[in-house]
Amino acid sequence: MHDDRSLVEARLRRVLDERIRPAVYPESVPLDVAVWHAPGEPVPVDEGLAAEPGPIEVGARWGAPWGTSWFRVTGTVPEEWAGRTVEALLDLGFDENMPGFQCEGLVYRPDGTPVKGLNPRNQWVRIGAPVAGGEQVRLHIEAASNPVILDYHPFRPTWLGDKDTAGHEPQYTLTRMDLAVFDETVWQLVLDLEVLGELMAELPADAQRRWEILRAVERALDAIDLQDVNGTAEQARARLTDVLSVPAAPSAHRISAVGHAHIDSAWLWPLRETVRKVARTTANMTALIEDEPDFVFAMSQAQQWAWVKEHRPEVWARVKKAVADGRFVPAGGMWVESDTNMPGSEAMARQFVHGKRFFLDEFGVENDEAWLPDTFGFAAGLPQIIRAAGSTRLLTQKISWSQTNKFPHHTFQWEGIDGTRIFTHFPPVDTYNCSMKGSELAHATRNFKDKGRARHSLAPTGWGDGGGGTTREMVAKAARVRDLEGSPAVVWETPTEFFRKAEAEYPDPPVWVGELYLELHRATLTSQARTKQGNRRSEHLLREAEMWAATAAVRTGFAYPYEELDRIWKTVLLHQFHDILPGSSIAWVHREARATYQRVAAELDEIIDAAQRALAGEGDRPLLFNAAPHGHHGIPAGGAGEEQRPEEVTVSERPGGGRILSNGLLRIEIDARGLVVSAYDLAADRETIAPGAAANLLQLHPDFPNMWDAWDVDAFYRNAVTDLTDTDELSVGEDGRSVRIARSFGSSRVTQVLSLPPGERRLLIDTEVDWHETEKFLKLAFPLDLHAERYASETQFGHFHRPTHTNTSWEAAKFEACNHRFIHLDEPGWGVAIVNDSTYGHDVTRAVRTDRDRGTTTTVRVSLLRAPRFPDPETDQGVHRFRHALVPGAGIADAVREGWRINVPERRLTGAREVAPLVTVDNDAVVITAVKLADDGSGDVVVRFHEAHGGRARATLTTGFEIAEVRATDLLERPLPEQAEHVGNTVKLQLRPFELKTLRFTPL
């Protein structure tokens, strides 16, 4: 027999496109349309419905960027359509290839009841099935003219990303506003042919099944009268019945489809637009649940649920009913799908506290899984946090985007820094926007790496990023492949149902130890520096506010600000979303974030000041309040007292130019270029800086990645570098104890102040950059005379080691990595720490010197600033301030302590009395990260701490109040089975390396 596959397949494509799909709506009549354009920001629904619209015709342009237009569509169902199914087709000017990235709408009835959302793949509204004929139709559409930021020519700079710069040019053309007859038989035929055509294309060319499908499709096409598709569709479907009813092989891969709409809480749209995106999507999904009895939809991010509750109570009522029916599933147990690399320890914990508590309070649902399909890699401290929140599982997908190395597992145990393991699944479908295409399902089957040991995988199904969710077409396709030969078997299931099956069939999966590093989007550790600084500062201010307020509440009866702290925490957690904190959102998002962080700081400073004044009382004694978890200058951690001033610092001229700083512990030589050519540890009699090298070296690279400008830095950026060594000015600071350096480069200027605090073994480097570069990358380099094969960088509740070499492609791919407050390198007995107050990205390289010394130079470079032009064309332009410290002779304990110190400086206040800490611990290896009152308002004191040095620790925790009871709890402050005993007001502690614990104290 001749091979006519291509002939039949080409025939199928053309007949579907030109005849069958158009026949789904064989008859239509136009609707009358009028429009009112809201003059500014979106208005309440009542106001939009009441506004008087003006006329508009199909074909007219509408919608200024970020505008809101209220369309009113009216019409009458023709009498002759009685007994038929009728839908309104409402095309606002959609591009079907851009669901979630274009204009969108939410349809309302005249009484304000929401009906469903409109998006490029969901343009219909059911009027009746069947209709009686003669019905009056009146619908209102709240249409958002969100501009297309990421289009067919992606990553080109655009001013559309901020309402203030986007202009007023209409963005869309009103395309279709009709009433139409919906022919369900033809619609079903379309889906029959799509499923079979897509399945056929994935089968081997010599497979019997492929040829059987081909011949069945050919017979169906022969049965269609192209001039009467509607009249012949039923007989065409009949010719496909046999081939669609052949069951799947018993060994077929099993896919749990989970209805999903991964909605970015902000990205190429502002936060206020996400509120409406969530409303549109949830309206659609609750409607689809009512129509499709097998369909299950899962939504993560408690913040988005809270938005629906607050802003769309009518939709919320439908959501609550669907949740009660088990069909609309809260997933993930986090406040938002946050970045997990940069959030600090306590913030990462609070993502789960606030997320899980919302779902428990609203629905009584306990989430077992963390749901993070799109997050840009996962820090090694996360498994312990997930477990401490009462969850045991993780789902992610983004690791499939890695450029260099393919991750070796799809189902595995992920082990964190403390040894905690989390059952983890990474869907082999390789998308969190699965649409049930045959190519996607076949890819999931072929790609699944655990064949022979496991058979189940999960497929998040529905349009996401900008929302939309699952469509009726996806549900119909899933029904056809539920049990179909040649296809994996698909069933709608909740995440919990999937994980139960996966764990049961794969009780001993492989183990992956350490971070889940994404070999892509590395520049998100640096882009939008002000957003990152706002996050870091907010995290530490929240810690201070809770600790001082709790101390004042116990000691003085101070009114603990429960509601204020809860609200502020949720605001900070929202801004840790994985396109806000990473710096990959439009300019509007980051402009608002800067203003939000300023408000947060002002509120928290007020709380801190009020609590400290309550503690100190009225008086004129100069007091120093120390909120860091380690004592400093005689002030205990969490207490206040008078500062004990150590000896002074000397500044002298350096032979050959420059200055020398000395404080009896360190001797720092700064040459005439303003570079640190020596950092001598006097006690250890050891030099820190590599021979012939200089630290505090600013380096500038070109930075134009191949894609994803704000997200990516590609390895080739290192091929060209400019050392910034020209000095405009080098002088002694006004305090007589520091050195000031100024230099210019390009269109920018940098001023640095180098100082050596009295009695401390750290060189402070304060850097101010007036940044006006484009597509450049600014680094601060420290070449160290250290032979280190690995280094430590702080992560949540501990630190994580990475190699300094590039033996394998896995190591070479980590050319930009994340740290929190410190990086630490050492040889046995001596090390160096570099600490920071607000930066995250860095790189570490090593080289063997070729001179007679033949020693090893290990260079740490801190990433300061970038200047990508997409999606924000003015990313980080303007003035920035950074603080770093070089700490010679540092062990890991010093790195931990100095990292906290630079982030939580002491506060000065006058008062009447010293303040004793509310809680103390007698071992510096045990770091207290939170002291607060219990969230339930009981007055109990909650203390969270962890072992921070990477070894076992014994310690005694002492409270500054009498204890009635102490209990170990999870992160949500719920009692755990393990016992916690106290003797008087002390508790004996034994901690494993990096172990995290929470204790709840009931005062007497």
C-beta separation of 816 from 520 below 8 A: no
In whole angstroms, give the CA distance from residue 40 to residue 142: 14
SS (H, E, C) 348-395: HHHHHHHHHHHHHHHHCCCCCEEECCCCCCECCCHHHHHHHCCCCEEE
Q: In this structure, are residues 384 and 392 in contact, taking their beta carbons and an 8 Å threshold?
A: no
DSSP 8-state secondary structure symbol assigned to residue 213? H
Q: Are residues 213 and 165 in contact, defined by beta-carbon separation less than 8 angstroms? A: no
Count Cβ atoms below 10 Å from residue 513 Cβ, excluding itself.
12
Helix then strand then coil, % of the chain, to nearest 5:
30, 30, 40
Rounded to a whole number of angstroms, the distance between the first and last alpha carbons of the chain is 91
Q: How far is CA 745 from the centre of its chain?
A: 34
Distance CA(127)–CA(142), nearest Å, equals: 18
**Residue 867: alpha-carbon gap to chain centroid:** 21
Residue 333, Ramachandran bin (φ over 0: left; ψ between -120 and 50: alpha; else beta)? left
Cis previous bond, 871, omega within 30: yes
State the residue for tokens 């001797």: 667
Sign of the torsion angle spanned by Cα atoms 239, 240, 246, 249 = positive
CA 212 to CA 207: how far, in whole Å?
A: 9
Q: What whole-number distance in Å separates Cα of residue 55 and Cα of residue 34? A: 4
Mapped onto helix, strand or coil, the DSSP state of residue 254 is strand
Q: What are phi and psi of 708, to 5 degrees?
A: 50, 65
Inter-CA distances, 345 with 350, 884, 999, Å: 9, 20, 16
For residue 757, how far is the Cα from the chain centroid?
Answer: 37
- What is the DSSP code string of 532-570? HHHHHHHHHHHHHHHHHHHHHHHHH-----HHHHHHHHH
Query: 10 Å Cβ neighbour count for 563?
Result: 8
Q: At what angle do helices 562-574 and 345-363 cross, to 10 degrees?
A: 110
Which two tokens mark 710?
A: 């704000």
Are the C-beta atoms of 694 and 676 separated by less than 8 Å? Answer: yes
Give how far Cα 844 sits from Cα of 85, 403, 825, 949, 997, Å. Answer: 65, 20, 10, 21, 32
Using CB atoms within 10 Å of the CB of residue 492, give its burial: 0 to 12 exposed, 13 to 18 middle, 19+ buried: buried
HEC per residue, 499-535? HHHHHHHCCCCCEEECCECCCCCHHHHCCCHHHHHHH
Residue that has been written with the tokens 């052949």 in this structure: 246
Instruction: Assign 3-class secondary structure to 148-162.
Output: CCCCCCCCCCCCCCC
How many angstroms separate the CA atoms of 401 and 403, rounded?
Answer: 6
Q: What is the DSSP letter of 401?
A: G
Phi and psi dihedrals of 895, rounded to 5? Answer: -60, -45
47-81 in b/e form (b: 16+ CB < 10 A) is ebbebebeebeeeeebbbbbbbbbbbbebebbeeb
Contact (CB, 8 A) for 754 and 743: no
Give the active site residues: 374
